[in-house]
A and B are shown apart, each in its own frame.
Chain A
Amino acid sequence: MQELIIEPGRAGKNYWRDLWRYRELFYFLAWRDILVRYKQTVVGVAWAVLQPFLTTVVFTIVFSRIAKLPHPVGVPYSLLVMAAQLPWQFFSSSLSGSSNSLIGNANLISKVYFPRLIVPAGSVITSFVDFLITLGLMAVMMLRYQFAPDWRVLTLPLFVALAFAASFGAGLWLCALNVEYRDFRYIIPFIVQLGLYVSPVGFSSSIVPVKWRLLYSLNPMVGVIDGFRWALLRGQSPLWWPGVVTCILVTSGSCLGGIWYFRKMERTFADVI
């Protein structure tokens, strides 16, 4: 029979083992969120398609037709936008999802023990399902434009992983901050909205002057979006390697920092939530 010892500061020692032990709960919570998400909205799955589609249409009109921003030759502008929409939608919805996840599950957290990391991680997974649906839309659009990707598409999983890490890391920070400061949730929609314009979703990052590019790459979504475009659009939109390296560094930094901060705050969640 297993023996469990509870004493101050002890929880940290078994944390990763517990995380593994509670993997089923993780699976069930993610399953619940996905189920509820597609049950609640009348449009259901259609919503996951409609949202990025309409944004793409509007962005194409605004940035290509009205602002007349340059874009790589041979790639329809809407594909350029769509390739960026994929990681951006994923990032922004996991950000808002995970930041509210702990408050939304407050009744669970104050009543049952499990590694709290499961909760924000679960909402990232939920957003990932949306991402997969949007990926389907991308495939349809590529068929429509008769634009076939080349070998570079095989590197896509790497960039998906990068998007995952970026979303998870940022989500953890916001999630813990949201419990600590109850008015933080009013800032999150603003961050997401601002991020859409700060990240190269509607335009190509190549229009940013070279001397500013490294600074610009500190936004992890820059590297992720560039990577998605490079992988999906036959490298027509060139990859700027220093930017990718910066992205990897920033992402892993925010991910590790996020886990550290979350773990630090986690101990008091049940007391303050």
Chain B
Amino acid sequence: MSDVVIDVENLGKKYRIRHQGTPRYLALRDVVARKFTTPIRWVHDRTRSRNGRQSPGFLPPISTPASREDFWALKDVSFEVKQGEVVGIIGRNGAGKSTLLKILSRITEPTEGRVRLKGRVSSLLEVGTGFHPELTGRENIFLNGAILGMTRAEIKKRFDEIVAFAEIERFLDTPVKWYSSGMYVRLAFAVAAHLEPEVLIVDEVLAVGDAEFQKKCLGRMGEVARGGRTILFVSHDMRKVTSLCNRGLLFNAGRIEARGDMTTVAAAYLEERTPSEGLADLSRRGDRSGTGDARLQKIELLKGVNRTAAFAVGDALTQRITLEVFRRVGTSMLAIVITSSDGIAVHELWNVNERCPWVAEPGVYEFEVTIPKLCLYPGTYSIDVWLGDANSARVDYITEVITFHVVQTPESELERPLDRANGLVLQRSEWTYNKAVDR
């Protein structure tokens, strides 16, 4: 018996997309109206063509099926997942990740190809699916468990564990509509976390809840993974993906673009996601948070005076950040965090730590932040930028604004190759020796 639990062969899923002008939902009145006007239009079109002239018509021509178009959300996707593997699935929005999960969890049928699954598959496409606000916590545990595929006996067996995990003992018989959002999410995740399927499919669930609970969830997923279960994990958060998964699949436009070791795949994604020419326009980034009193506009990476995304170990790296202040913020702080592709925050740079106090008045500012000697091991790194006021309240914050690569070149003046397996931050050191005993 082979230990392949998920075997996907040439999977494809085709959607019909309707173009502008055709409604998202079919309405009976439109169908009926079309049926009735078709003969009139037909006669109308005929008379028009008989006249041989393009007289201005009083009715638009019968719409042709050409207003629909086929769109492959997934195409020629093949991969295998072995028992106990934790696979991270990454890619931009619309790359086909969610379609893949929907096919694997049987919500939608593929158009071509086949999937072979061994064992029970449970998916957590969204925590709290099927929760009903009028029902109590206790009732929702049973309902949600059943929806996620647990039998009543299983739920009963794990009931206490679920309640303890969610920390809602006191509110067990309160309708969940009175729960705080934190309690709601905790309960929802608790039910899901106690599923015992052979294959668990997780999509973006960890984006919710407070930091402490998130940690607990990650821990629980790690536990599940160590228990020999197979997990497919879809997320945009490279840190979580790289810390949880050992293998990765990178999707782009419905195909698998990269596969293999999670860290390598994550690096490929970061590179794809953010332009590597050393320039990123941030004004149109939607995935930001903060009051918006000031906004980051642009970031450039410079090596000397040249814009680039490739640096050698030991190079000087300059980040030129352009930002616009719309309303007066007053004394403000700017922070830059550099993170490795496997999700470890390496450097944290603050204007206030470097004696560069700043009072944000309306206008456009250009900051230049220079790291005189880059002491990072070769690899791909990403930059997060945070802008806050004197009380550390977030004004604008964007993660992964840009990425850069560090390579080792002869200019680095290092004898030995730096291996990421042995280190992350290059620490130069002074060495001396003397011969203590002469023989």
Chain A residues near B (Cβ < 8 Å): 1-11, 24-25, 27-29, 31-32, 35-36, 39-40, 107-114, 180-184, 187, 267, 270-272
What residues of chain B lie closer than 8 Å to A180, measured between beta carbons?
Answer: 26
Chain B residues near A (Cβ < 8 Å): 15, 25-29, 31, 102-121, 123, 125-126, 129-130, 132, 134-135, 139, 142-143, 146-148, 151-152, 198
Q: Are B117 and A6 in contact (CB under 8 A)?
A: yes
Partner among A1, A10, A112, A272 whose Cβ is within 8 Å of the Cβ of B148:
A112
Q: Are B28 and A6 in contact (CB under 8 A)?
A: no
Q: Are A40 and B134 in contact (CB under 8 A)?
A: yes
A145 to nearest B CB, angstroms? 38
Name the CB-closest residue of A to B146.
A28
What residues of chain B lie closer than 8 Å to A112, measured between beta carbons?
Answer: 105, 107, 123, 125, 129-130, 147-148
Q: Are A11 and B109 in contact (CB under 8 A)?
A: yes
Q: Are B112 and A8 in contact (CB under 8 A)?
A: yes
Q: Are B117 and A4 in contact (CB under 8 A)?
A: yes
What residues of chain A lie closer than 8 Å to B129, measured between beta carbons?
Answer: 107-108, 111-112
Between-chain CB contacts (< 8 Å), 21 pairs: A1-B198, A2-B118, A2-B120, A3-B117, A6-B106, A6-B110, A7-B115, A10-B109, A27-B146, A29-B143, A36-B132, A108-B129, A108-B130, A111-B123, A112-B123, A112-B148, A184-B28, A267-B109, A270-B102, A270-B107, A272-B25
Q: Which of B112, B118, B147 has the most chain A CB within a 10 Å cutoff?
A: B147
Q: Are A35 and B139 in contact (CB under 8 A)?
A: yes
A9 to B109, CA, bound (A): 8
A-B contact count (CB 8 A): 110
A3-B118 contact given A35-B139, A108-B130, CB 8 Å threshold: yes
Name the CB-closest residue of A to B147.
A112
Q: Are A36 and B31 in contact (CB under 8 A)?
A: no
A28 to B142, CA, bound (A): 8
A186 to B228, CA, bound (A): 52
Closest 5 CB pairs of A and B: A113-B106, A181-B28, A7-B114, A28-B146, A6-B115
What residues of chain B lie closer than 8 Å to A28, measured between beta carbons?
Answer: 142-143, 146-147
Partner among A6, A111, A114, A184 whose Cβ is within 8 Å of the Cβ of B126:
A111
A121 to nearest B CB, angstroms? 15
